[in-house]
Chain A
Amino acid sequence: TQLLEQSPQFLSIQEGENLTVYCNSSSVFSSLQWYRQEPGEGPVLLVTVVTGGEVKKLKRLTFQFGDARKDSSLHITAAQPGDTGLYLCAGGEGGSQGNLIFGKGTKLSVKP
Protein backbone atom coordinates (compact mmCIF):
# COMPACT_ATOMS: atom_id res chain seq x y z
CA THR A 1 0.00 0.00 0.00
CA GLN A 2 1.37 3.35 -0.97
CA LEU A 3 1.40 5.93 1.80
CA LEU A 4 2.20 9.61 1.84
CA GLU A 5 3.27 11.17 5.10
CA GLN A 6 3.02 14.88 5.55
CA SER A 7 4.80 16.91 8.17
CA PRO A 8 4.20 18.87 10.19
CA GLN A 9 0.53 18.13 10.85
CA PHE A 10 -0.06 21.56 12.35
CA LEU A 11 1.83 24.80 11.92
CA SER A 12 1.04 28.15 13.48
CA ILE A 13 3.27 31.06 12.51
CA GLN A 14 3.32 34.84 12.40
CA GLU A 15 2.80 36.83 9.24
CA GLY A 16 6.07 37.32 7.38
CA GLU A 17 7.71 34.08 8.48
CA ASN A 18 8.86 31.38 6.10
CA LEU A 19 7.80 27.74 6.31
CA THR A 20 8.29 24.39 4.64
CA VAL A 21 5.86 21.48 4.46
CA TYR A 22 7.12 18.02 3.60
CA CYS A 23 5.50 15.09 1.86
CA ASN A 24 7.36 11.77 2.01
CA SER A 25 6.82 8.24 0.80
CA SER A 26 8.74 5.03 0.31
CA SER A 27 7.00 4.60 -3.03
CA VAL A 28 7.62 6.22 -6.38
CA PHE A 29 4.83 8.33 -7.84
CA SER A 30 4.25 9.28 -11.45
CA SER A 31 3.19 12.76 -10.34
CA LEU A 32 2.74 14.77 -7.18
CA GLN A 33 0.04 17.33 -6.68
CA TRP A 34 -0.40 19.97 -4.01
CA TYR A 35 -3.81 21.27 -3.01
CA ARG A 36 -5.05 23.90 -0.58
CA GLN A 37 -8.39 23.38 1.12
CA GLU A 38 -10.36 25.87 3.17
CA PRO A 39 -13.04 24.75 5.67
CA GLY A 40 -16.26 23.64 4.00
CA GLU A 41 -14.79 23.76 0.51
CA GLY A 42 -13.20 21.34 -1.90
CA PRO A 43 -9.43 21.22 -2.44
CA VAL A 44 -8.03 23.66 -4.97
CA LEU A 45 -5.11 22.52 -7.09
CA LEU A 46 -1.93 24.56 -6.60
CA VAL A 47 0.56 22.67 -8.72
CA THR A 48 1.42 19.35 -10.35
CA VAL A 49 5.01 18.14 -10.57
CA VAL A 50 5.93 15.17 -12.71
CA THR A 51 9.70 15.18 -13.24
CA GLY A 52 12.21 14.13 -10.59
CA GLY A 53 14.04 17.20 -9.29
CA GLU A 54 11.46 19.55 -10.76
CA VAL A 55 10.98 22.93 -9.06
CA LYS A 56 7.93 25.09 -9.68
CA LYS A 57 7.21 28.53 -8.31
CA LEU A 58 3.83 30.10 -7.79
CA LYS A 59 4.38 33.63 -6.45
CA ARG A 60 5.60 33.08 -2.86
CA LEU A 61 5.16 29.30 -3.05
CA THR A 62 7.97 27.02 -4.21
CA PHE A 63 7.31 23.35 -4.90
CA GLN A 64 9.97 20.71 -5.35
CA PHE A 65 9.70 17.09 -6.44
CA GLY A 66 12.45 14.81 -5.16
CA ASP A 67 14.93 13.36 -7.61
CA ALA A 68 13.59 9.85 -6.97
CA ARG A 69 9.95 11.04 -7.18
CA LYS A 70 9.25 9.76 -3.67
CA ASP A 71 9.01 13.06 -1.83
CA SER A 72 8.08 16.67 -2.28
CA SER A 73 8.22 19.93 -0.39
CA LEU A 74 6.26 23.16 -0.35
CA HIS A 75 8.04 26.29 0.80
CA ILE A 76 6.16 29.50 1.51
CA THR A 77 8.09 32.75 1.76
CA ALA A 78 6.79 35.64 3.86
CA ALA A 79 3.56 33.90 4.80
CA GLN A 80 0.37 35.94 4.89
CA PRO A 81 -2.93 35.35 6.72
CA GLY A 82 -4.48 34.50 3.37
CA ASP A 83 -2.20 31.45 3.19
CA THR A 84 -4.10 29.88 6.09
CA GLY A 85 -5.63 26.56 5.17
CA LEU A 86 -5.14 22.81 4.91
CA TYR A 87 -2.37 21.85 2.50
CA LEU A 88 -2.67 18.41 0.98
CA CYS A 89 -0.17 16.54 -1.11
CA ALA A 90 -1.37 13.75 -3.37
CA GLY A 91 0.64 11.21 -5.28
CA GLY A 92 -0.48 10.01 -8.66
CA GLU A 93 -0.20 6.33 -9.40
CA GLY A 94 -0.29 6.89 -13.13
CA GLY A 95 -2.13 4.84 -15.68
CA SER A 96 -5.61 5.45 -17.04
CA GLN A 97 -7.31 5.39 -13.63
CA GLY A 98 -5.48 8.39 -12.32
CA ASN A 99 -5.95 7.43 -8.67
CA LEU A 100 -4.49 9.81 -6.13
CA ILE A 101 -3.07 8.87 -2.74
CA PHE A 102 -3.57 11.74 -0.30
CA GLY A 103 -1.43 12.70 2.63
CA LYS A 104 -3.19 13.62 5.88
CA GLY A 105 -2.56 17.28 5.33
CA THR A 106 -0.82 20.14 7.07
CA LYS A 107 -3.06 22.65 8.78
CA LEU A 108 -1.40 26.06 8.48
CA SER A 109 -2.45 29.08 10.48
CA VAL A 110 -0.81 32.42 9.75
CA LYS A 111 -1.50 35.06 12.36
CA PRO A 112 -1.38 38.77 11.55
Chain B
Amino acid sequence: GAVVSQHPSWVICKSGTSVKIECRSLDFQATTMFWYRQFPKQSLMLMATSNEGSKATYEQGVEKDKFLINHASLTLSTLTVTSAHPEDSSFYICSAQNKETQYFGPGTRLLVL
Protein backbone atom coordinates (compact mmCIF):
# COMPACT_ATOMS: atom_id res chain seq x y z
CA GLY B 1 0.00 0.00 0.00
CA ALA B 2 0.84 3.75 -0.06
CA VAL B 3 2.04 3.92 -3.65
CA VAL B 4 2.68 7.25 -5.34
CA SER B 5 3.22 7.61 -9.06
CA GLN B 6 4.60 10.45 -11.15
CA HIS B 7 4.25 11.17 -14.83
CA PRO B 8 6.25 11.66 -16.88
CA SER B 9 9.38 10.03 -15.49
CA TRP B 10 11.54 12.24 -17.66
CA VAL B 11 11.01 15.10 -20.05
CA ILE B 12 13.17 17.14 -22.37
CA CYS B 13 11.83 20.47 -23.57
CA LYS B 14 12.92 23.64 -25.28
CA SER B 15 13.51 26.82 -23.33
CA GLY B 16 10.32 28.88 -23.01
CA THR B 17 7.88 25.99 -23.06
CA SER B 18 5.75 24.83 -20.14
CA VAL B 19 5.89 21.36 -18.63
CA LYS B 20 3.25 19.68 -16.49
CA ILE B 21 4.14 16.93 -14.02
CA GLU B 22 1.46 14.76 -12.42
CA CYS B 23 1.60 13.17 -8.99
CA ARG B 24 -0.95 10.53 -8.04
CA SER B 25 -1.59 8.58 -4.86
CA LEU B 26 -2.73 5.22 -6.19
CA ASP B 27 -4.18 3.46 -3.16
CA PHE B 28 -4.95 6.18 -0.66
CA GLN B 29 -6.39 9.65 -0.53
CA ALA B 30 -3.99 12.47 0.23
CA THR B 31 -5.25 15.77 1.49
CA THR B 32 -1.71 17.06 1.42
CA MET B 33 0.95 16.53 -1.20
CA PHE B 34 4.43 18.04 -1.37
CA TRP B 35 6.68 19.03 -4.24
CA TYR B 36 10.46 18.88 -3.95
CA ARG B 37 13.35 19.46 -6.27
CA GLN B 38 16.71 17.80 -5.98
CA PHE B 39 19.94 18.88 -7.65
CA PRO B 40 22.71 16.35 -8.29
CA LYS B 41 24.37 15.06 -5.14
CA GLN B 42 22.14 17.21 -2.94
CA SER B 43 19.24 16.54 -0.64
CA LEU B 44 15.59 17.29 -1.27
CA MET B 45 14.46 20.89 -1.11
CA LEU B 46 10.79 21.50 -0.40
CA MET B 47 9.23 23.78 -3.01
CA ALA B 48 5.61 23.87 -1.94
CA THR B 49 2.86 22.17 0.01
CA SER B 50 -0.24 21.35 -1.97
CA ASN B 51 -3.58 21.08 -0.18
CA GLU B 52 -6.64 19.68 -1.89
CA GLY B 53 -9.16 22.37 -2.64
CA SER B 54 -7.03 25.31 -1.60
CA LYS B 55 -4.04 27.30 -2.74
CA ALA B 56 -0.60 25.83 -2.39
CA THR B 57 1.84 27.15 0.17
CA TYR B 58 5.19 28.00 -1.36
CA GLU B 59 8.55 27.99 0.37
CA GLN B 60 10.59 31.16 0.49
CA GLY B 61 12.35 31.83 -2.80
CA VAL B 62 10.02 29.67 -4.91
CA GLU B 63 8.08 31.68 -7.49
CA LYS B 64 4.43 30.72 -7.36
CA ASP B 65 3.76 32.15 -10.83
CA LYS B 66 6.51 30.02 -12.31
CA PHE B 67 5.70 26.78 -10.52
CA LEU B 68 1.94 26.41 -10.72
CA ILE B 69 0.43 23.80 -8.45
CA ASN B 70 -3.05 22.39 -8.71
CA HIS B 71 -4.47 19.84 -6.27
CA ALA B 72 -7.90 19.28 -7.74
CA SER B 73 -8.64 15.91 -6.17
CA LEU B 74 -7.57 13.79 -3.21
CA THR B 75 -5.41 11.63 -5.45
CA LEU B 76 -3.88 14.07 -7.93
CA SER B 77 -1.62 17.09 -7.73
CA THR B 78 0.06 18.71 -10.70
CA LEU B 79 3.12 20.93 -10.96
CA THR B 80 3.48 23.08 -14.07
CA VAL B 81 6.84 24.66 -14.76
CA THR B 82 5.94 27.68 -16.88
CA SER B 83 8.32 29.18 -19.42
CA ALA B 84 11.01 26.72 -18.44
CA HIS B 85 14.66 27.72 -18.68
CA PRO B 86 17.83 25.64 -18.47
CA GLU B 87 18.29 26.55 -14.80
CA ASP B 88 14.97 24.81 -14.09
CA SER B 89 16.53 21.50 -15.12
CA SER B 90 16.37 19.28 -12.08
CA PHE B 91 14.86 16.18 -10.52
CA TYR B 92 11.34 16.95 -9.28
CA ILE B 93 9.84 14.64 -6.67
CA CYS B 94 6.39 14.67 -5.16
CA SER B 95 5.18 13.04 -1.99
CA ALA B 96 1.74 12.35 -0.61
CA GLN B 97 0.91 12.33 3.06
CA ASN B 98 -0.83 9.30 4.53
CA LYS B 99 -1.46 9.77 8.26
CA GLU B 100 1.91 10.79 9.73
CA THR B 101 4.07 9.60 6.85
CA GLN B 102 5.07 10.97 3.46
CA TYR B 103 5.35 8.53 0.59
CA PHE B 104 7.40 9.62 -2.37
CA GLY B 105 6.90 9.28 -6.08
CA PRO B 106 9.69 8.00 -8.32
CA GLY B 107 10.59 11.50 -9.51
CA THR B 108 10.58 13.34 -12.82
CA ARG B 109 13.83 14.30 -14.48
CA LEU B 110 13.41 17.60 -16.37
CA LEU B 111 15.98 18.79 -18.89
CA VAL B 112 15.44 22.18 -20.46
CA LEU B 113 17.52 22.84 -23.55
Interface set of A (CB-CB < 8 Å, partner B) = 31, 33, 35, 40-45, 48, 50, 88, 90, 92, 96-100, 102-105, 107
Contact = CB atoms under 8 A, between A and B. Distances in A.
Given A97-B49, A98-B32, A45 B44 contact: no
A104 B43 contact: yes
A104 B39 CA distance: 12
A33 B102 contact: yes
Interface of B: 4, 6, 32, 34, 41-46, 49, 57, 91, 93, 95, 97, 100-107, 109
B95 to A, nearest CB: 8
Given A42-B105, A44-B104, 5 more contacts: A31-B100, A35-B104, A40-B91, A41-B107, A104-B42
Contacts of A33: 101-102
Contacts of A97: 32, 49, 57
Contacts of B95: 42
A28 B95 CA distance: 23
Contacts of B49: 97, 99
B106 A45 contact: no
Given A98-B32, A98-B97, A42 B104 contact: yes
A96 B54 CA distance: 14
Contacts of B42: 104
Contacts of A90: 102
* Interface pairs A-B: 4 shortest CB-CB: A42-B104, A104-B43, A98-B97, A42-B107
Contacts of B45: 102
B103 to A, nearest CB: 6
A50 B103 CA distance: 17
A81 B45 CA distance: 28
Contacts of A96: 32
